[in-house]
Structure 1
Amino acid sequence: MEKGLLGSEFRHFTEEIRARFMHMGLKKKTVTFVMCTFLGAVLFTSVVFGILYSNSWKSTVIKHVKSIEAEKEEGIKGYFENMQSLAYNICYSNWMQDIFKKSVSVQRRQEMEENARAFLGSLSTLYEGNQFAVIALNGTKVTGTDSYRLDYSVDIEQKDWYEELLANGKYVETGEGSEKGIYRNHPEWNMTIYYVVHDYNTLERTGFLVITIPLKNIYKLLDTSYEGTWLALEDPDGGLDCSGLPEDTDLEGKIKTMPFRVVKAENRFFVSKTQIETDFFTWNLITVVDEKFQKISNPMMVFVFVGVLIFVGCLLIVVAAAVSRYLTNPILDCADAMLEIRNNNIGIQMENTYSDEIGELIDGFNEMSGSIFSLIEKNKMISALQKDAEIKILERQINPHFLFNTLEIINSLILNKKEKSAVKVCETLGQLYRYNLRQNKWITLREELAYTMQYLLIMKYKINDLSYFCDVDDKLMDTPFLKAILQPLVENSIKHGFQRKQQECCISILIRQNNDKLHIEVMDNGNGMEEEQLASLHTEIRGIFENPMKYLAEANHIGIKNVVQRMYLEYGEAFHVKIISTAGYGTRIELEIPEEGERREEKPYV
């Protein structure tokens, strides 16, 4: 209730301010407009500067997170690639191959084991406490230092992952407790890498090389010198979790569900999660950066400050231009409205929000536009009446041709003493002319087909071998249809197609619905047309499309052209016609018109 009251009061206040402004003179409007524009420019600049600063700072933090992430990912991959390279150098060195041989004297074997222990011990010192051990199938077991004892109860061949070790040539074991590796009483070992060793001459499996990496060395991979930055490693399978995240947060519980991109958590931390894939494992690297420790070093901010000063300095010029637009915009709108009138958007009215001299100008334009609209409407009505008169003339143009043809048939039947047939033709002719006397411009498709069938019935008395077929979808029978369209096309086929034809004469009518169009085909197997004759007919039809109001003079194919002209006057560009004819084979006429309710909008012929 209170919100609605406040909203109503605010609208009333703004409307009052607007009304006072619109009733000011141009001079007072100019001063007020300049002052409001200046205040708006200062506010806009402040908002833009705040957005730029925020986006720049956020972009800097994200780049920092990605940089640390890429640096650590490269370091971790490089570390384990180095371990793998070292392992293969050890496995296939000559002295290592000798240890795995069975045919070696006891004294020689002891000597090789001492040398191997010393070498592996030096490697342990060199690699910051990583332990190296050799387990041969001949029973020899050597570790790098004496301080860590091998657990002789560990049988690698009994491990669940032994088959995977043989298949891949290596296996990584992580975790604590039962998965502590090959040493006794050292649950702090976090990662043990097993390599299968083969004799490089016979390729026979001879033993295993084991590298054990303590947890502290993995944590060293996560060390960073950046203040307010923490990293963690996570094994998707749950076998490893090296976390260096801050303890006073709930980040560890949220990281599992975080997406693999940079997100903000707890309104303070930027967290990035990415997947590291190596030949040993697949880990998720988590990088956390505290925004409080980030500083922006962006020279763009300096340019922003300078830009603000320049903007304020140029503000008066901008305001002056705005005032000028206040005076010129209505005139430009009037020019655009006149262009609309020229493009037949007659009767356009401009919204008048001005109460000064500019308002009087707009009122005058609106009165002028209304007067032009009234005159055009009168002219359109006269043009429409003229078009209807032309259509009626075209309809009356068909009837004489049909009557003359029918009278010839009746005369022929009487001369041949076929009085009953002549009477039948007269009755059918009477029905057809009663149909023609109807004033309806539109009938149903059913009525048009019935009319055409009656005509064909008369024509069978003239052409003995005449047959006709009609294929029309029953759902279309009640479709509104322009009167006297099919019969002139059929009459054209009989008059021009079947002259001097000795064999069977066939006419087919096909009407189908094609998407939202009505597709009509009238086809005969008559004489067809020569290429020159067909080209001439196409030229005349194009002339009808270009000037549909032109009177059709008596000529060949008057029926086709009459139908095309009436169709185009009714449907305009939505009407399509196609005539295909081959001399000696026949003619097919295709018409395509919109369904009911989709006839073209009437356009004035001025």
Structure 2
Amino acid sequence: MKWSKSKISSLQTLIALSYSIVIVLMISIIGFTSYAFTTRTVEENTNDYVFQLVTQINYDIEYYLRNIENTVNTLKSTEDVKEYFKISDEEILMKETLSDKLNNFMVSRNDIVNIFLLRKDGNIIVNKGDYEFKPNVNYKNEEWYKNSITTDKMIISDSHIQNILIKRYKWVVSCGKRILDEETGEFLGVAVVDLNFNLINDMLNNLSLGEKGYMFIVDSEGNIIYHPQNELINSGIKDEDIDFILGSQDGYISTIENDRTKNYIVATSEYSGWKIVGTVYEDEVNKYKYITKQIFSIMIGLSLAVAILVSLIISRKFLHPIKDLLKGMNQFKNGNLDTIIQVKHGNEIGELADEFNDMTVEIKKLVEENKKTENSKRKYELKALQSQINPHFLYNTLDSIVWMAEAGINEDVVAMTSSLSKLFRISINRGSEFITIAQELEHIESYLKIQKLRYGSKIDYDIKVQEELLQYSIIKIIIQPIVENAIYHGIKTMQGPGFINIEVKDVNNKICIIVEDNGVGMEEEKCKQLLEDNSANETKKTGIGVRNVDQRIKLYYGEEYGIAIESEIFEGTIVTILLPKEKVEKEDSNEKK
């Protein structure tokens, strides 16, 4: 069917109107992009600025620590200090003199708490003051003392409570350098300066990092040297992501704290190994972020409102036939192959409906042909699956034969080999898909004899059959997968011996095969899964599989036949196979169906 240009142009006009929606979307995309770019640029510039501040603070602290080291070097080079570390028995007068001189080093220095001279024999001198040493003080166990013995560098401890003097509980950082005999190089002791945080606190608190921003210091081991909220840190109310900081390079890194983005800006001191960390909350740095976000949101909201209004106007003109087309497609999708769409519009939608109607006619033909092809294909695929031999069972059986032969158990070797031969002979059956019930029972008995020889008293079985049913024909190898499943998933894992009972009987003029075991059983949901058409639910150790047996039965005999499973945890499982009574041998029965 040909359509006039005037009719086609009407749809083109409507399509042109829809471009207004595209414009709104583009405005929204540009708005979001601009917003994201703006806020990110502000954040990066702020982080770069804070990094410069942190770097400067790092430099100032390095300079401060070097100054402390110079003070310690000056102290240890004085003659009185040298003499104190050399004499064997120091005099009280000398102690007082040295205490006075130590005080001279602390003049106008509010950052130095105490200065100690620690001899290796345990004698201590501290700057003059109302001080009393703790009894049995053993500073030699302190890490900073141990580290001082092995290097000429100044050792800086982590932040700790002063533990040499009584009733002096200040938080300090100890800076110590060893003193050696100038002639022999023998270790004599350590000169130690205890620092408070006055100067560091002044340096860090003079910077503004937002209302809640702050700086803190950690050493290379992750110990917090200084933190403005030290009480909260020590009480466990607040914490910092120290491992994250130690594992990161200098620069800025982000983390989440209580749903807020927190940026760490890190600079590492080459002199002390300390990391100076600036902490900035993103929402405080970007004070106008939320206002900008609200403006953009209002603009986008108005654009969306206009877009919806335009779409409603457009839908009145051409969405109704599209809905009819969609409705017909859904009917066709749900299986109604006779669907015909009645759309009488002289535009592309009407043409599309006609094409769809032509397509449904062709698809209906193809579906009918495909059903026949697929039915045959499935039968052949299932037949191929059914003919496969479980390699694990064959390997274990042959391994058992070898083991019994080596052990000289010849009777069992003959019995197992004979059973295996019968098992394969019936499985092959000259390519026939159907065997008698007698052959099927001979097949499963051979399989059970092999398993009995392998597992001994762990497995026992009994087979009962009504004699008049032995010559009836059934599809082959439908009992063995059920029994295999019972052994490996019901009996093998249970405590004590297992028993499998197989019974073949006539029920309402139908063949009923019952396989019952006293294994561990299973839940009702598991029973359903065994028969569901889902490859993920098929057991991997049962050869062909229970579901495949059920599918084969339904394919050859119809949906009214198949497998039913009843089970109870720790009580066992009953599998019932229902088949029609047929005496006629069937060869390639799939062609009849």
Pick the structure with greater CA Rg: 1
Q: Same fold (TM over 0.5)?
A: no
